[in-house]
Structure 1
Amino acid sequence: MTAAEGVGVPLAEVRAVLGRAGAAAGPVEVAAALRGLGALVSEGTVRETVAALRRESAGAGPLEPYLALRGVTDVLVNGHRQVFLDRGAGLEPVEGVFADEEEVRRLAVRLAAAVGRRLDEGAPFVDARLPSGTRVHAVLGVLTDVGTCLSLRVPARRPMTLAEWVAGGSMHPRAAELLTRVVRSRAAFMVSGGTGSGKTTLLASLLGMVEAEHRIVIVEDSRELAPAHPHVVRLEARAANAEGAGAVPMAVLVRQALRMRPDRLVVGEVRGAELTDLLTALNTGHQGGCGTLHANSAADVPARLEALAALGGLPRAALHAQAAAALDVLVHIGRLSDGTRWVAELHLLERDEASGLCRAVPAVRFTGPGDPVLGPAAARLDGLLR
């Protein structure tokens, strides 16, 4: 509750008075508006009301303080009654952020407008990246049962090192050693995991270990990867404009990236037809390529690749042949029962000679702080990274 509301004047009424007068939300104008509404005006009331109005009209409004909290990766809004934060240990509820549905909708529309996107009944959802780098997805209440929903993904303020992953309890020391070898051997790898599991954060950590003289070209649907590396070029896909023109899909960007002399080609998140271009690149001399992929486990990656390859018109047999030859290591990250992110396993792809299909074979699993569990592909992984 703001100071204005504390003396019986809703912030919406102050805003309406200023709007009708075409006045800015400065101290003099706000004091006059409060007097006109019959409120008792004090220096503290005016100062706090001005701050509340400016907070509402800049950045992410009332969500801005939560986005700035240390360790926050996601802020989720389910209508005006429910707001949740994720600081790496599961979702935490936050109370009293929004007064009503109109306030949430107004924020969602303003965030969409800030990046030149439309959000109304005719276009009731939007996915965009704010100038701050925060990724925002909004769905208006016409499509939900709780009101306007917002999902904000906060970019990492700085890339984590593998040592920090280990110190934070999200990675076994042996996993850090193996992943370091994966990067330095220029093996092609894919990081899999569920939504919010930390795939992008882990990939940024690994790219930070790439040799300084190597050129990294990153292709993303929405820019999130910012590795600590001196030579990075980032390409971002573009949605169609209001007239339905101007779209630049991921698959096109992957092909353009190949003409930019990448030492490491990176697809931030493989989610469609761009998979076929990535596999082609990895099979034609582009070593050390990598990306992330949504999957429930490393064992599920081949099936997930099949589904994505179908979007690019790549037959099943061709996909398995290409994947087996292109991808060296699968790294899976998930969450423990307490919500903590955890690098869980490394697999290798193995192709069955009879069927021609490939499957993910466990090389090493990390079930906790104890000794890792070696799988059938452990020796092959060691030879690959040697």
Structure 2
Amino acid sequence: MTTAPPARDARPVNAAPPPPQAPRPYATATPLPAQSTTSTAAVSPQGASNVAVHPSVVPIPSRRAIPPVSDRVDRGQGDSAHAVAHRRALGRLMDRLADVVDLTPLDSGAPPDGALAQRIAQASAAGAEALRAAGELPPEVDVEALVADAQRELLSLGPLDRLLEDAEVSEIQVFRYDHVIAMHGRRRVIAEVGFSSERAVGRAIRRLCMAAGQPIEAGASFVERTLPKGRRLFAVLPPAATSTLVIRKPQRPDVTLDDLVRNGTISRAMAGLLAQCVLGRGNLLVTGTRDAGTGWLLGALAAAAQSDDRFVVLQEEDELALDHPNTLSIALGATTDERTRAVRAAVRIRPERVVVSSFSGHVAAEIVDAIGGGMDGVLAASRAPTLRQAVTRLPADIAATRPGITPETAREWLASSFDLAIEIALLRDGRHRVLRIAELAVEGGQIAIRDVFTFVVERTAAGGALEGTFHPSGLVPDIVEDLQSRGLSVDTSTSFRRNR
């Protein structure tokens, strides 16, 4: 919205097996096409459909229904006596299978041929019955569920199947083969079923990479892939370490500012100001760490825009999926040239809104240049522990990419580019809070943070919940006058009145 550094007044800073089902893929739903390792600023409509993966060649019996992982207590059922007995039985069954079926062809990650899959299906059922007949299965172990888990591990992705399909699970962690953790927000839940061996984890990693169109190269120990639906895979393989896997799902920020008010992330007055800023096509900078909820806040801000506004989302990967009908996602790419071209492509499209999920380096410099050239409606997120740290680092990023400009000029550019800055954090009680909404100004050659609203922690309640209050500072930000001149209503008589 603002295109040049405005003159600002100096003000103080306020601080039974079912019938066979239809064959399934590796439970990765609709994978993306093969990814190029060096992509240009590829433009693709948000939510475009993807190609299908290799289907399983034999139906896998369904496990008996269990509650979604996210509905269990923090320890889940993963440490229950039943779960421990089931995992041990699964290990014994896998040992029997390895004695009667050559499982080596599965290690490449490629889907098994029909003959091998049929042998596995028959051997797993026969092996489980043999264990039961020999008295090697505890009475609490469900034989049907045991067979289903064995086949799922050998023919699909084992315990990852359910977790990938559970919309409440945001991240999956496997640091030990028999210890699979599902993240639901900040809650860690131990999955009831783990893998039977390190070998099984490595097999699942290879299958995921093949489904993504990028098989693991021989000798590779560190793996990073974009999976179907924008999921990100990070894995470490022997000999660097035991097989380790993290799958992070993209944020689906289907929340509104009203939702954030209801859950205590912001106050009603703060939401009103931010909503009017978005409608007035103000430029907003959001800062916070990766788990602070910057993506959710960006989504809530975007939801405040007009329904017919066109959005362009600039992001390093499909990590942010806005629930908006007119959205275009542009990959930033890995190189400086790719990032520059991506930003310039977004500017040339002339959307009403530009959302930047990673505002730093060359991207920050290009966005600031574009704002100086008249672009507005920018919603940008910068990863930093605090707003103060962000505004200290970002001018250095801009100056480093623009030889000849001084640090003071870079600070002026940054401060004049954004109408408001928002700091969001994840507090130790596991709740997200917007800690401050502020204006940026330059005073004495340095960026000053002039608070409009702050959150003050007042006490720790029973159970560890942090209780506090959102306080207006009394400062009416400069953008309010601009919004009012555009016919947007901002109540200055009560919204910004300082608490007594």
Q: How does 1:211-290 map to 2 (within 5 A)?
A: 211-238=306-333, 249-290=338-379
Superposed CA deviations along residues 277-307 of structure 1, whole A, max 9, x for unmatched, are: 1111111111111221111111222122134
Counterpart in 1 of 2:205? 108
The 5 A counterparts of 1:128-143 are 128-143=225-240
In structure 1, the partner of 2:95 is 10
Q: Secondary structure at the match of 1:249?
A: helix
Relative contact order, higher structure (CA 8 A, sep 6+): 2
Question: What residue identity is the alignment partner of 2:224?
Answer: D
State the secondary structure of the residue aligned to 2:440: strand
Distance 1:171 1:16, change over 3 A: farther
- Taking a change above 3 Å as real, the CA distance of residues 341 and 239 of structure 1, as seen in their structure-2 partners, is same
Give a deviation string over 1:159-211, Cα, whole Å, max 9, x none. Answer: 11222223334333333222212211211011111121111122112112211
Q: 1:327 to 1:127 in 2, by over 3 A?
A: farther
User: In the superposition, relative to structure 1, how do residues 292 and 128 fare at CA in structure 2: closer, same or farther (>3 Å)?
Assistant: farther
1:89 counterpart residue number: 186
Q: Distance in 2 between matches of 1:152 and 1:16?
A: 30
Q: Which amino acid aligns with 2:409?
A: A
Q: Computing the radius of gyration over CA atoms, which structure comes out larger, 1 or 2?
A: 2
**d(CA) in 2 for partners of 1:15, 1:120:** 30
8 Å Cα contact 1:137-1:151 kept in structure 2 = yes
- The 3 A distance-change label for structure 1 pair 381 and 263 is closer
> For the residues of structure 2 that align with 1:306 and 1:64, how far apart are their CA atoms?
45
From 389, 408, 413, the counterpart of 1:300 = 389
Aligned partners of 1:276 and 1:339: how far apart in 2? 34
Structure 1's 158 and 322: CA in aligned 2 closer, same or farther, altered over 3 A?
A: closer
The residue aligned with 2:456 is 367
Counterpart residue number, 1:172? 267
Is the 1:220–1:268 contact (alpha carbons within 8 Å) kept by the matching residues of 2?
yes
| Counterpart selection for 1:309 from 393, 398, 405 | 398
Deviation at 1:367, TM superposition (A): 3.1
Partner residue of 2:433 out of 327, 342, 349 = 342
Query: Which residue does the alignment assign to 1:243?
Result: none
Q: Distance in 1 between matches of 2:283 and 2:96?
A: 55
Aligned residue in 1 for 2:290:
195
1:186 to 2:278 alignment? no
The counterpart of 1:30, out of the listed 120, 123, 131, is 120
- 8 A contact 2:87–2:196 mirrored in 1: no
Gaps of 5+ in 2: 1-85, 107-111, 133-141, 458-466, 485-500
Distance 1:266 1:301 in 2: 18
Deviation sequence 1:104-141 (CA, Å, 0-9, x none): 33322332332233545754333332112222222335
Which segment is superposed worse, 44-53 or 228-237?
44-53
Secondary structure of 1:259's aligned partner = helix
Please say which of residues 251-260 and 134-143 is displaced more in the overlay: 134-143
Partner SS, residue 99 of structure 1: coil
Equivalent pairs: percent with the same residue? Answer: 25
Q: 1:7 to 1:153 in 2, by over 3 A?
A: closer
Letter in 2 for 1:71: E
Amino acid of the structure 2 residue aligned with 1:366? F
The equivalent position to 1:63 in structure 2, one of 136, 148, 160, is: 160
| Matched residues, number | 374
Unaligned runs of 5+ in 1: 241-246
Give the AA of the match of 2:328.
V
Deviation at 1:344, TM superposition (A): 2.0
Local SS of the residue matching 1:331: strand
TM-score, length basis structure 1 = 0.82
Residue pair 2:299, 2:322 contacting (<8 A) in 1 also: yes
Shift in Å at residue 63 of structure 1? 2.4
Give the deviation of 1:70 after TM superposition: 5.0
Identify if the C-alpha distance between structure 1 residues 9 and 306 changes in structure 2 by more than 3 Å, giving closer, same or farther: same
Offset of residue 89 of structure 1: 3.5
> What is the alpha-carbon root mean square deviation over aligned residues?
3.5
Check the 8 A contact 1:299/1:360 in 2, yes or no.
yes
CA distance in 2, matches of 1:280, 1:166: 34
C-alpha displacement at 1:37, in angstroms?
6.4
Instruction: Identify which of 53, 63, 83 aligns with 2:151.
Output: 53
Q: CA deviation at 1:309?
A: 2.6
Q: Is the 8 A contact 1:137 1:150 kept in 2?
A: yes
Instruction: Using the TM superposition, give the Cα deviation of residue 143 of structure 1 relative to its aligned residue in structure 2, in angstroms.
Output: 4.3
2: CA distance, partners of 1:301 / 1:10: 54
SS in 1 for 2:259: helix
Equivalent AA in structure 1 for residue 227 of structure 2: L
| C-alpha deviation, 1:341, in angstroms | 1.9
